[in-house]
Amino acid sequence: MQWQLLDSLSEGDRRAVLSRCHRKRYPKGAFICHQGELGDSVHLIDTGTVAIRVNGPAGDMITVDVMRPGNSFGEQALISDGAVRSATVVALERVETLRLTRDEFRALWEEHPGASMVVAKMLEARLRSTSQALLDALHLPAKTRVMRRLAFLADIYAGHATQSIPLTQDDIASMAGTTRQTVNRILNQAREDGLVDLNRGRIVIVDPAGVARRARTAR
């Protein structure tokens, strides 16, 4: 597995980072961390996908993102002793991560100062993702946002045997910043157009290329 955040490191620094990590395994549905708890480690996703969820105003859990192998989460724990988790992370399938604790990172930093670039890369990626989501919410209509989220998820789950997305329409709605009713209408139209199939709370991508085209042209 290649992690983009490690690309800027020298081969020696990269090996040093990975040697300090500990492999963790989680079954489908497991909570990897909870919003509000103290954080002491960062996770590099090696296999499987996870949902990033936050507490909603009504006490419900809102899905804001999905991460795949090559992504990472929990970077704030490396730079602050009192950092608390800003989101809950749930395994959407069997997941394996490489976990790097704050103590291990600090020891690594002393031996390999270049490893500090890992944190900078993670923070840069998070800022870029947040900025893009804000721009989309401000300037794109709901149909475009929904189709872009669907295309994003179709790409993540393209390698799965069923090409099925293990998320509900409520999840898609929260990720796209719109209502479930709007998502239902857009998905039903996509089903009529032969792009997706809706089956027992799952969304099956029938035509990934068509979904990608719709995401580029939807208005």
What's residue 83's pLDDT? 82
H runs (alpha helix) in 75-207 = 102-111, 117-139, 142-156, 169-176, 180-192
Residue 197 is predicted with a pLDDT of: 92
Could you give the 3-state DSSP secondary structure of residue 210?
A: helix
pLDDT at 23: 97
**Rg of the chain in Å (alpha carbons):** 18
CA-based nearest residue to 93, from 149, 164, 42:
164
Asked whether 153 and 167 are in contact (CB, 8 A), the reply is yes
Tokens 């002793």 -> residue: 81
* pLDDT (0 to 100) of residue 81: 77
**pLDDT confidence of residue 43:** 94
Q: Given strand 202-205, what is the order of strands in its sheet?
A: 164-165, 202-205, 196-199
Domains, in order of start, for the chain: 4-136 (2.60.120.10), 140-217 (1.10.10.10)
Q: Smallest Cα–Cα separation from 164: which of 154, 174, 173, 178? A: 154
- Mean pLDDT per block of 10 residues along the chain (219 residues) reads 77 87 96 93 94 88 93 82 89 95 84 71 70 67 92 89 84 93 95 90 87 81
Amino acid 139: pLDDT: 66
Residues 203 and 167 sit within 8 Å (Cβ to Cβ):
yes
Enter the pTM of the model. Answer: 0.86
